[in-house]
Amino acid sequence: MALARLGRDDHRLAISAADCATLEPLASAWLARGVSLDYLTTALTAGLPARIDSPAGLLHRRLTDKIPPHIPRTAESRSPDTKEPTHEALLVECTNCRRPGPPQALPDGLCRPCHHAHTHGGDPTTPTPDEVAAVKAHVANLRNLLKPV
């Protein structure tokens, strides 16, 4: 297992068989989330301190704190007999303006206005016509409130 190999890769992470058995469920949770053994090993060994007093404690902490998010299975990774979900509720955000939308509506991570501005060299912070109209209506309302009675 990857945990037992850590001590061979870096002597500071040498742990006993009992420690391996204790940490195994945590490592298995990582693997159940779709990470590879190489990714797990890299995540556990990256940025190690110069001195490690408790390798099992350090590994337990890293396995607990750095666990990656659960990634839903994609259509390609499903087995042929798995039924397709009837409703996908996955939303993503535009990387520029943070506007939410379905993944299909955000090619390259950008919503339509930001994508258009990016590809045509415009300013991505330029307001949409609806936003301009809303500001104008708000200003007109404020002017009406400031009129003497």
Which string of DSSP letters, residue by residue, matches 34-102?
T--HHHHHHHHHTT--S--S-HHHHHHHHHHHTPPPPPPPPTTTS-TTSPPPS-----EE-TTT--EE-
Tokens linked to 7: 């001590």
Dist. CA 114–CA 99, nearest whole Å: 10
Is a pLDDT exceeding 70 seen at residue 75? no
pLDDT value at residue 84: 52
Q: Give the model's pLDDT for residue 132.
A: 86
Q: What is the pLDDT of residue 57?
A: 93
pLDDT bracket for residue 135 (50, 70, 90): very high
Are 103 and 117 in contact by the 8 Å Cβ rule? The answer is no
pLDDT of residue 97: 83
Question: What are the angstrom distances between the C-alpha of 9 and each of 17, 56, 72, 82, 130?
Answer: 16, 15, 32, 40, 59
At 107 the pLDDT is 76
Sign of CA dihedral 3, 39, 59, 14: positive
Per-residue pLDDT of 8-29, as tens digits, reads 888 899 999 999 999 999 999 9
pLDDT class of 78 with cuts at 50, 70, 90: low
Q: State residue 108's pLDDT score.
A: 78
List beta partners, residue 100.
93
pLDDT digits over 88-134, tens only? 567 788 888 878 888 888 877 888 888 777 777 766 566 778 888 99
Question: What does the pLDDT average to over 50-74?
Answer: 86
